[in-house]
Amino acid sequence: MSRFQAAPFLQHSNIYEVNLRQYSSDGSFTEFAKHLPRLKDMGVQVLWMMPIHPIGKVKRKGTLGSYYSISNFRDVNPEFGTLDDFKNLVQQVHELGMKLILDWVANHAAWDNVWTQTNPDFFERDAEGNFKPPYDWDDVIQINHANPHEQQAMIDAMGFWVKECDIDGFRADLAHLTPLPFWINARMQLTALKKDLVWLAETEEIDYHEAFDISFTWKWMHEAEDYCKGKKGFEELLHTLKYYDEAFPAEAYRMYFTSNHDENSWNGTEYEKYNGFAKALAVFSCCWQSIPLIYTGQELPVNRRLKFFDKDSINWETGVELHDFYKTLLSLRLDETALFSAIAAPRLLSGTIEKNMLAFYRQQDTAMMIVLINMGNNLQQHVIQENELQGHYTDIFTGNQVTINNNEVISLAAGEWLIVKR
């Protein structure tokens, strides 16, 4: 379905979303750069920077405004530093072998965006001839996607960051609100500037994979929350996974997550949403056929909702409690690349659905990984009967040897998991 070839490294990659404003007391590129060695050690491969552009002052929300109300697509928010500071950050990211993608907002802009003065026809108007917001988002105005000059100006602005700063791709905010032909055209032009750019779409519209490599899994996230709160049954979760498997093209990468900037600020932390299963679902996100997302501070963890329009700095001095937890999971993806290829698609273990267990295995040639996650509220026991799975394995978290045979009982408490490989 896709018209483009995804970067080869994506199949075993991961993404870390950076909320720069809240990352440190001054919220700057320079301060964030001090965390790069730690993130590299944790196994992070792709950094997704929330928008770094200047924020509109007209109808601004809160004291600092929304990242997504942009007044100039070719400039840097002085709250974060200078353009040279950003270039230095990208260079440091690359020196550590990581990549950096930029959040891009193509559907709307600030009321005082520079284009409202130079190119007012780039925006839609209401019946009185005034700029108008999309939906009830009253701090931004709707871009006129029917204007081809606006579309080219937007692509040129994206190209500025590729050429001037050597960024590695884009996360498209609400991608489906901007017509698909725009994104196809953007990718064609920008691929000519730099190969193997990462294209991540905030959408679940299947046809947008014509332009994008990766899409969001909002449906899974919402249904997992409903399940953990007792609003949906376990089989509904599996139906969603089956839907994804059957409806989306085989080459489409899906990004699984338990939190991001929207979820944390507006709907609650992963600990509020998932009723004790936050870490279990993080394990699933890293082991299923997916590209897992880790949001700013999940490795601490951050147990509060971060403010969106105001300063609300994270305190890193308490110690990064879950660094090794995520490092183990991300290292597995890097060390066992064969197990995370499309060929090694997950296969469910028999006899586990009725136990509310997310249990599956992935195999390619002699490499094998078995994952059991108890999503039930009680202790569960399971004996693996599949003949092809019998043998000796290593527990990836403890390093202990584990024997799998049809006599060995695996016991898991509620929210507990087991990952073994051979």
User: In this predicted model, what pLDDT tens digit does every residue of 168-186 receive, in sequence order?
Assistant: 999 999 999 999 999 999 9
Residues 250-287: pLDDT tens digits?
899 999 999 999 999 999 999 999 999 999 999 999 99
Q: Rounded to whole angstroms, how far apart are CA atoms 280 and 319?
A: 21
Class of residue 52 by CB neighbours under 10 A (exposed 0-12, middle 13-18, buried 19+): buried
3-state SS assignment for residue 129? coil
Spans of the chain below 50 pLDDT: none
pTM (2 d.p.) = 0.97
Q: What does each C-alpha distance from 111 to 55, 89, 178, 200 come to in angstroms? A: 10, 29, 18, 26
- Long-range contacts formed by 348-354: CB under 8 A, 24+ apart: 348/238, 349/382, 349/384, 349/386, 350/385, 350/386, 351/382, 351/385, 352/382, 353/234, 353/235, 353/238
pLDDT of 343: 85
- The answer to whether the bond into 51 is cis (omega within 30° of 0) is no
Phi, psi of 404 (to 5 degrees): -105, 115
pLDDT of 11: 87
pLDDT of 338: 85
Two structure tokens written together for 18: 């950076």
Phi, psi of 348 (to 5 degrees): -70, 145
Two structure tokens written together for 408: 């060995």
pLDDT of 1: 61
